[in-house]
Structure 1
Amino acid sequence: MAEVIAQAMLHSAALPVVTGSAGVRALVGHPMAPHAISALDRLGLNGRAHRARLLDRDLIASADLLLTMEDAHRAVAVALDPRAAGRTFTLPEFAELAAGAGQRRYRSDTVERARAIVQSAAERRARRRPAEVHDPYGGPPEGYEACAKTLGASLSHALAALLGPR
């Protein structure tokens, strides 16, 4: 759901940012859970084309920023590629850390601004368990709807910081 929501936000901002989605326990090739599709439908978004893929070293290496749902997912990504530690966060953790960094003035383009904010967030990371997004998989529709709202709010804050005033 996060990728679909992020793509919609980025599309409305007319920015050419590449997003991706991969799971640490993905059922490769499977579609999104029906309740996830319904939750996205209620937001006016379409998740029907999504197919699950497994997180791997190549995906990690190609990303400037990895946002996970849970700290355990972050740990898997960092175990696969320890060089990713400084650019891998839970989504709520990054949204919180980036919000402060995003208040600074940057004299550079969006890509350099985003990279500077990721670096700043890594430097400001506390040694506490980060906030997480509850995985609704296998649960009732209400769990998926709550998850979609949490994702939307966190992504909105993260993207606002990364992309700056529009």
Structure 2
Amino acid sequence: MRILFVCTGNTCRSPMAEGLMRMKVRQEGLVAEVRSAGVSAMTGGPISRHSAALLQEAGFEETISSFAIQSSDIAWADLVLTMTNGHKRTVIQRFPHAVDKTFTLKEYVEDNTENLEAIAERERLISELQMKQALSQAITEEERDRLYTLEDAIPDYDISDPFGGSLSDYQTTAAEIEACLAKLVRKLKESS
């Protein structure tokens, strides 16, 4: 299993997910490779000092640098896990062939079929509406209402963004990621 974590700048959330997951892979004896990238990242830059400090505190000794997401990353990955719905939409817009393997981290680890069906319907509707806009076609009130209804029915699957925040903000985000990664490990073990 090859897992790609994605956030905005690949300096805060996705590097934390990458480092923590790499540790879990080793600890649990899983067969998996883990990377991270950003939808608006500059390749080769350092990750945030708070993310680096939290990873070091957790026992992660490797160095992670930021990477801008490329088509080769998408081709490499069996699973693309984003930190927010916005990241997910960006990945799918740039790499439409990745739609079946791209999820938010929280959505992927939750086992709620009803939510997953609503998410799939929302993604289809958004794609249709974007196509209509590109073709200069009007979006009906009914289509807007359906999108709002779907948005209201789906839980918030975004991981909080600590960018520019205090160490405490980063600790909160790390705990949120850690809880999802524990579920991800269980899911990977069940499927192997």
Q: TM-score range by the shorter chain?
A: 0.7 to 0.9
Query: What is the Cα deviation at residue 135 of structure 1?
Result: 1.6
Query: What is the Cα deviation at residue 41 of structure 1?
Result: 2.7
Normalised to the residue count of structure 1, the TM-score between the two structures is: 0.77
Instruction: Give the number of the structure whose residues are more often helix, by fraction.
Output: 2
After superposition, residues 12-31 of structure 1 pair within 5 angstroms as: 12-31=27-46
Aligned length: 142
Aligned counterpart for 1:95 among listed residues 85, 91, 109: 109
Q: Identity over aligned residues, as a percent?
A: 29
Asked if 1 retains the 8 angstrom alpha-carbon contact of 2:92 and 2:102, the reply is: yes
After superposition, residues 81-92 of structure 1 pair within 5 angstroms as: 81-92=95-106
* Residue equivalent to 1:35: 50
Q: Which stretches in structure 2 are left out of the alignment for 5+ residues? A: 1-15, 120-153
Instruction: Report the CA distance shift for 1:89/1:9 in structure 2 as closer, same or farther (over 3 A).
Output: same
Normalised to the residue count of structure 2, the TM-score between the two structures is: 0.67
CA RMSD for the aligned pairs? 2.2
Give the 3-state SS of the residue equivalent to 2:50 in structure 1: helix
Give the 3-state SS of the residue equivalent to 2:81 in structure 1: strand
Instruction: Report the CA distance shift for 1:130/1:78 in structure 2 as closer, same or farther (over 3 A).
Output: farther
* Residue equivalent to 1:64: 78
* Residue equivalent to 1:2: 17
Does 2:90 match 1:76?
yes
Query: What is the Cα deviation at residue 27 of structure 1?
Result: 2.5
Give the 3-state SS of the residue equivalent to 1:138 in structure 2: coil
* Residue equivalent to 2:171: 145
Query: What is the Cα deviation at residue 129 of structure 1?
Result: 5.9
Give the 3-state SS of the residue equivalent to 1:136 in structure 2: coil
* Residue equivalent to 2:190: 164
Q: Which stretches in structure 1 are left out of the alignment for 5+ residues? A: 101-120
Instruction: Give the number of the structure whose residues are more often strand, by fraction.
Output: 2
Does 2:126 match 1:126?
no
Q: Which moved more, 1:125-134 or 1:136-145?
A: 125-134
* Residue equivalent to 1:46: 61
* Residue equivalent to 1:104: none
